[in-house]
Amino acid sequence: MRREGNTIYFANDQEFYDFAVSPFDVFQRMEGGTLFHDWNFTPAYEDALSEGKEFVIEDPNSQVVKHQCAVYRTVCKPVENVKGLSKLHKKS
């Protein structure tokens, strides 16, 4: 991961997940008693979003970029400000 200006660059999806997805499951109980699990984004990701940061995943095969979501276990959540590495972002 590297930071340049208002953009945070990640080499691949795993590096983005390490930054953005909390590794802890959250268990909740629905009406009727059924338990289900959920997860949260990290405070670092949420703070960066609130500061207007952009996230670039440099892997051209990024599933996060392709689907615009993060999947942890079986829960899928949309991500914001995530882009792939375009010609505009590439360094000479």
- What is the pairing mode between strands 69-72 and 54-57? unpaired
Span 54-91, pLDDT tens digits = 999 999 999 999 999 999 888 899 999 999 987 555 55
pLDDT in tens, 33-63: 888 878 999 999 999 999 999 999 999 999 9
What's the whole-model pTM score? 0.83
24 in helix, strand or coil?
A: coil
In this predicted structure, the answer to whether residue 92 has a pLDDT above a threshold of 80 is: no
Cα of first residue to Cα of last residue in the chain, in angstroms, is 19
**% residues pLDDT > 70 (the chain):** 93
Residues 6+ apart with CB under 8 A from 38: 25, 26, 27, 28, 75
Is the torsion defined by CA of 81, 45, 57, 37 positive or negative? negative
